[in-house]
């Protein structure tokens, strides 16, 4: 459902899970081994359903470090992005993770953690809280059942500092600088959904959520790039084909409009669907735009 990566940062995408039919447990980039479903977790209708009770997970997923290793490049700067529907607040499950990057050989992680230090709020969880501070103002969830996007970016700075920025629905929740910048190397990185950290044998934290999609970048995306992931911009292309102009666009919910001058008046082009073609002879000069 979020298939279109709109910008050049897609080259920095090192892990991508959609949970869609045919790729339910697969990292589309091919860097991580397939996920293993643990406990009562399951994949249905393109979503990973994780469950928990209190601070324990009852259903979670982990990349299978028993069958393979992370084969991508070293991850220093990074961004974690998840689209999710919360199914329970802190009174159901807490201190678990939407997406955690951990080492295989040791407990060494960053993750998008829910309700561990502050009720119903998001934080960057990290080993020993070494890269953790509470986001200010942060965001307190009060509702369940809505599709939301969470993202945390990690940017290495001079002097051994790390800048951590959190976003919910592309709005900044907070930003801070901390010490203890870290990295995850080829052969020693794994992914967890539901658990705060751990491995094949389990770990702490629980979360009750449907995870629609998750992405891991080896760049600290900026606010505009996070916004483009949250609300992809409209794109339109126009090329000449023989004596026609062909206009193509990707968002089927957007409507094509035309005008004789840039100032309008603009009117919808009836029944126009992409790709749309028009004879060049039909208008000496005509302008087109997409609107939604
Ligand atoms: Ca659930
Ligand atoms: Ca999905």
Domains of the chain: 8-230 (2.60.120.200), 236-291 (no CATH)
CA 88–ligand 1 middle distance (angstroms): 8
What per-residue confidence (pLDDT) applies to 2? 47
Cβ atoms of 192 and 62 within 8 Å: the answer is yes
Ligand 2 centroid–CA 57 distance in Å is: 21
- Ligand nearest the Cα of residue 43 is 2
Q: Residue 53 pLDDT > 60, yes or no?
A: yes
Q: How far apart are the first and last CA of the chain?
A: 18
Residue 241 CA, ligand 2 centroid: distance in Å: 36
Cα 48 to Cα 93, 190, 207: the distances in Å are: 16, 17, 12
Average confidence (pLDDT) over 178-201: 98
Q: In what order do the strands lie in the sheet with 236-241?
A: 236-241, 244-249, 276-279
- Taking the CA of 84 as reference, the closest ligand is 2
- Residue 151, preceding peptide bond in cis (omega within 30° of 0): no
Indicate the pLDDT class of residue 250, thresholds 50, 70 and 90.
Answer: confident
Express each pLDDT in 77-121 by its tens digit: 999 999 999 999 999 999 999 999 999 999 999 999 999 999 999
Structure tokens at 228: 């483009």
Is the pLDDT score of 7 beyond 60? no
Q: Which ligand is nearest to the CA of 59?
A: 1
Return the beta strands (E) in 87-224 as ranges.
Answer: 96-102, 109-114, 122-126, 147-157, 161-168, 171-178, 190-194, 209-217
In sequence order, the β-bridge partners of residue 233 are none
């Amino acid at each position: 459902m979020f298939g279109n990566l709109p910008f050049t940062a897609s080259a920095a995408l090192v892990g991508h899970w959609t949970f869609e039919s045919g790729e339910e447990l697969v990292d589309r980039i091919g860097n991580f081994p397939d996920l293993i479903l643990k406990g009562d977790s399951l994949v249905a209708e393109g979503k990973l359903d994780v469950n928990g009770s209190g601070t324990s997970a009852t259903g979670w997923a982990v990349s299978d470090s028993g069958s393979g290793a992370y084969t991508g490049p070293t991850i220093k700067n990074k961004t974690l992005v998840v689209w999710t529907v919360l199914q329970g607040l802190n009174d159901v499950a807490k201190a678990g993770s939407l997406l955690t990057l951990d080492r295989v050989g040791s407990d060494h992680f960053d993750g998008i953690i829910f309700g561990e230090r502050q009720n119903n709020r998001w934080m960057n969880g990290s080993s020993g809280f070494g890269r953790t501070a509470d986001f200010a103002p942060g965001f307190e969830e009060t509702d369940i059942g809505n599709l939301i996007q969470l993202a945390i970016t990690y940017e290495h700075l001079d002097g051994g500092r790390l800048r951590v920025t959190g976003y919910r629905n592309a709005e900044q929740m907070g930003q801070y600088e901390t010490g203890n910048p870290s990295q995850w190397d080829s052969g020693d990185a794994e992914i967890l959904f539901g658990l705060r950290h751990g491995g094949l044998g389990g770990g702490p934290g629980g979360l009750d959520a449907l995870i629609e999609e998750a992405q891991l970048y080896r760049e600290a995306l900026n606010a505009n790039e996070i916004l483009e992931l949250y609300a992809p911009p409209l794109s339109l292309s126009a090329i000449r084909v023989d004596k026609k102009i062909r206009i193509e666009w990707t968002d089927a919910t957007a409507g094509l409009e035309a005008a004789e001058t840039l100032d309008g008046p603009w009117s919808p082009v009836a029944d126009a669907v992409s790709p749309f073609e028009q004879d060049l002879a039909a208008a000496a000069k005509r302008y087109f735009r997409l609107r939604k």
